[in-house]
Amino acid sequence: MKVIYLIEISSCLVKHNEVTQKYISELKKSKDYMEPDKTYLCISYFLLKLLCLPDCH
């Protein structure tokens, strides 16, 4: 389930190239990259809705 969130977010953010680069680089630096906690998932979900939910659906 966590992986699905990451894939969804990453694929959506491809439409926002500048944001994608910053987001992915921060994500890779984060120690939660492989094992996101609930807070991280909430933030990610918020970003997904904010940036690309209208574009993806």
3-state secondary structure (DSSP) of residue 22: helix
Each residue of 1-54: pLDDT tens digit? 566 666 666 666 565 666 667 777 777 776 655 555 666 666 777 777 777 655
Domain residues of the chain, as ranges? 1-20+35-52
Q: What does the pLDDT read at residue 49? A: 74
| 56 compared with 10, residue with greater pLDDT | 10
Q: What does the pLDDT read at residue 4? A: 62
Measured between alpha carbons, how far is 52 from 15 in angstroms, rounded to an integer?
Answer: 8
24 Cβ neighbours under 8 A, 6+ residues apart? 10, 13
Q: What does the pLDDT read at residue 57? A: 47
Q: What does the pLDDT read at residue 26? A: 75
Residue with tokens 């910053």: 22
Instruction: Find out whether 13 and 19 touch, Cβ atoms under 8 Å.
Output: yes
3-state secondary structure (DSSP) of residue 23: helix
Q: What does the pLDDT read at residue 55? A: 52
